[in-house]
Structure 1
Amino acid sequence: MAPAEAGVVTVAVWNVEHNGHDKNGADHRRHRAYDVLAEYRPDLVFRQELTHAHLDGSRALYEEANRLGLWPFMAPGTPESPNPTGVLLSTDLFQVDAYYTHATGGWHPICNPLVRLKDPEGRPSEKALSLASVHLCSYDPATRAREAKRLVTLGAPGRTALFGGDMNSYPHRADEESVPLPDWSDPGLSDAAHFEHRTVERDGQRVSDTVPDQILAGGRQVFVEAGHYAATRLAQPRALEATANLWRKDQGRRRRIDRLYFSPALAPALLSLEVMADEDVAEVSDHALQIARFDRARMFSALSTAAAVEGALR
């Protein structure tokens, strides 16, 4: 295992398909996922599809947490989807103030711990940081838009947030992306249900759903989308690499549907964003693993002011 980087907060975002459980009952992928994550020594993990992790006293949840040396939080599953979201975090770096879940209409509730970042002496930041793992609805654009609107509340005046997950939709700045939006006339996109799930009607035509990203990071920009910021402001074009689907062939080429967002005050702290889709990752899940790194001192500074830093992106 590589040593942790001093002065750096390492954040992982990963949808591990059905928490590594195969249809035949095998769960070797789940244990392989722990090994892959542990190599990056994350301080904070936004996880999606913690399938069956609540069983037997949440044994699988604590197993993952113990393997990574982190403390876990998990939103409940629902009758519609037994694949909850979760957040795992370092209590050496974060003081937990509270924990919330947000129901979003029957799909995946948002897992939302409220924390304070500690300085090297263990003193908590003046401002709290709202963390959230999200998994937007896979089948209904209207539900995704409602879920995105719910997330906007985490960025209300006086609040600072950092969240990530599977957005099941596309970035809204298509002309600045290295991975284009789907061409729905492409015969390789043979999954008809996928077309219905991932498109919206606009001006009488069906187009790719970019609404959640527009809500979160467009307009007056409540949040910054980490991949776009890393590519355009930090000269890291590979931050825009596709994240899914690593397995299926009937949904066209891979797209960038897993993303990380944060309040503008945290932008000066972002050091890098990497998309990991190597053989080890693809063995575990149909989604790539994202690793973001933040400067701890700059993040602490952003959380130590009486109000959010204005003009951080100017």
Structure 2
Amino acid sequence: MKTITVVCWNFERNGKNDPQLRCQAHELVAQYNPQLVLRQEMWGADENGSEVMYELENILGLRGWLGLRSCTAVFTDQSVFRTVREWPQTGPVWVLPPTALTLRYLPAGEGAMPVIVSSFHLNYASGANRVAEAEWLTTWADKRSTAPDGTTVRIPALLGGDANSYPEPSALEEPTLPELDRIRDEPHRAHRSYLGTKGRRMDTRPDEILRTAGLSDVAVHRADRPGGSVAALAPTVDACDTHGPDARIDRMYVTDELLPAITDVDVIRVRPELSDHHIVRLTLDGDRLAALLRQRPAHTPHASGAVTGEPEPLPAA
């Protein structure tokens, strides 16, 4: 069985302008031999001719795509995934724009369905903005391809990032939603909660939106299956005075076509001097992934474009 490893990490401020720290952090990631890396907080990676981006590509041994304003990035192993297209038009609402690519999983063959992969970072301070951003994230689960018989089918999607909000409680053994008065920083109480019909509560709306759109939280899926481990549901940020107790802020989601390929999900703890977020790791059975994608019909271009369901081009400023 070939293992595909996907790593998702909000590396704090891309190393806080410390090249040594940045190098150490990505050497840590590289030791897990990932084929996909979804990064957030890529600040400064576009400066000096994208010097930092090339540095990180060299350390990881992967090719990278940097999103708008250096907010997010996707790195891929080009011997495993070939890029079919980029998605620069991510929607009008983003404070921290995502990076999205359509990738061909090479072991599945040219006739198999590709996969859409996106790294995202939802807004820190505005719950209302996170709702709109999550709604736009669902467009990556709404891309369709035309089969030889003229029918259209959904292209599988994998999304990962910092949700800056909480998952809806799953009844599994995972961090509980914080109580509002346990968050000492009063502005942060406003950042992470909203006034609903039953009073103010912690913000789980992005998770609810993504799941409504047919995207599954891979950690919940894995923990709730035979042989699953609660390690999948470990906190991705630790308790602190300002933000409250441990929380599972960073998550990965997939459309249901990819669920049978999941073999494990865990959280890799990192030292606090490296980052304020831990690493989420998803592993897939590569052979199973290839078989699932081969079951999807091959893509056939048509007059209106190669793929349907694209976001409308943004108006000129």
Match of 1:67 in 2: 59
Report the AA paired with residue 169 of structure 1. Answer: S
Match of 2:119 in 1: 133
Match of 2:258 in 1: 266
Match of 1:312 in 2: none
Q: What is the TM-score with the length of structure 1 in the denominator?
A: 0.86
CA drift at 1:283 = 2.7
CA drift at 1:45 = 0.2
The count of residues paired between Structure 1 and Structure 2 equals 286
User: What is the CA–CA distance in structure 1 between the aligned matches of 2:79 and 2:256, rounded to whole Å?
Assistant: 25
Is 2:24 aligned against 1:38? Answer: no
SS at 2:200 equivalent = strand
Q: Percent identity?
A: 30
User: Could you say if the C-alpha distance between residues 139 and 127 of structure 1 is closer, same or farther in structure 2, counting changes exceeding 3 Å?
Assistant: same
User: What is the CA–CA distance in structure 2 between the aligned matches of 1:270 and 1:185, rounded to whole Å?
Assistant: 37
1:206-245 superposed matches below 5 A: 206-217=200-211, 219=212, 222-233=214-225, 234-245=227-238
* Aligned pair partner of 2:294 in 295, 304, 307: 304
Deviations along 1:229-255, one digit per CA (max 9) or x if unpaired, are 111114211111110146x43222120
Is 2:20 aligned against 1:20? Answer: no
CA drift at 1:126 = 1.4
User: What is the CA–CA distance in structure 2 between the aligned matches of 1:169 and 1:125, rounded to whole Å?
Assistant: 38
Deviations along 1:252-279, one digit per CA (max 9) or x if unpaired, are 2120010001110111100101101143
Is 2:160 aligned against 1:175? Answer: no
CA drift at 1:92 = 0.4
Match of 1:96 in 2: 83
CA drift at 1:306 = 3.1
Deviations along 1:100-123, one digit per CA (max 9) or x if unpaired, are 131442411120011110118xx3
SS at 1:36 equivalent = helix
On the 8 A contact 1:242/1:257 being kept in 2, the answer is: yes
User: Could you say if the C-alpha distance between residues 125 and 20 of structure 1 is closer, same or farther in structure 2, counting changes exceeding 3 Å?
Assistant: farther
CA drift at 1:176 = 2.9
* Aligned pair partner of 1:109 in 64, 74, 97: 97
User: Could you say if the C-alpha distance between residues 204 and 198 of structure 1 is closer, same or farther in structure 2, counting changes exceeding 3 Å?
Assistant: same
User: What is the CA–CA distance in structure 1 between the aligned matches of 2:236 and 2:11, rounded to whole Å?
Assistant: 12
Gaps of 5+ in 2: 143-152, 299-317
Report the AA paired with residue 65 of structure 1. Answer: E
Is 2:283 aligned against 1:293? Answer: yes
Report the AA paired with residue 107 of structure 1. Answer: V
On the 8 A contact 2:188/2:242 being kept in 1, the answer is: no
SS at 1:185 equivalent = helix
Match of 1:163 in 2: 159
On the 8 A contact 2:164/2:192 being kept in 1, the answer is: yes
User: What is the CA–CA distance in structure 2 between the aligned matches of 1:287 and 1:104, rounded to whole Å?
Assistant: 27
On the 8 A contact 1:84/1:108 being kept in 2, the answer is: yes
Report the AA paired with residue 209 of structure 1. Answer: D
Larger relative contact order, structure 1 or 2 (CA cutoff 8 Å, min sep 6) = 2
Name the Cα RMSD after superposition. Answer: 1.8
CA drift at 1:204 = 4.6
User: Could you say if the C-alpha distance between residues 274 and 211 of structure 1 is closer, same or farther in structure 2, counting changes exceeding 3 Å?
Assistant: same
* Aligned pair partner of 2:244 in 247, 252, 257: 252
SS at 1:9 equivalent = strand
CA drift at 1:305 = 2.1
Report the AA paired with residue 194 of structure 2. Answer: V
User: What is the CA–CA distance in structure 2 between the aligned matches of 1:174 and 1:114, rounded to whole Å?
Assistant: 31
CA drift at 1:173 = 2.6
On the 8 A contact 1:49/1:84 being kept in 2, the answer is: yes
User: What is the CA–CA distance in structure 1 between the aligned matches of 2:83 and 2:100, rounded to whole Å?
Assistant: 11
User: What is the CA–CA distance in structure 1 between the aligned matches of 2:168 and 2:188, rounded to whole Å?
Assistant: 19
On the 8 A contact 1:244/1:255 being kept in 2, the answer is: yes
Match of 1:80 in 2: none
User: What is the CA–CA distance in structure 2 between the aligned matches of 1:177 and 1:235, rounded to whole Å?
Assistant: 12
User: What is the CA–CA distance in structure 2 between the aligned matches of 1:307 and 1:191, rounded to whole Å?
Assistant: 52
Is 2:146 aligned against 1:146? Answer: no
User: What is the CA–CA distance in structure 2 between the aligned matches of 1:174 and 1:168, rounded to whole Å?
Assistant: 18
* Aligned pair partner of 2:74 in 84, 87, 92: 87
User: What is the CA–CA distance in structure 1 between the aligned matches of 2:296 and 2:124, rounded to whole Å?
Assistant: 38
On the 8 A contact 1:14/1:47 being kept in 2, the answer is: yes
SS at 2:18 equivalent = coil
User: What is the CA–CA distance in structure 1 between the aligned matches of 2:192 and 2:130, rounded to whole Å?
Assistant: 10
SS at 1:303 equivalent = helix
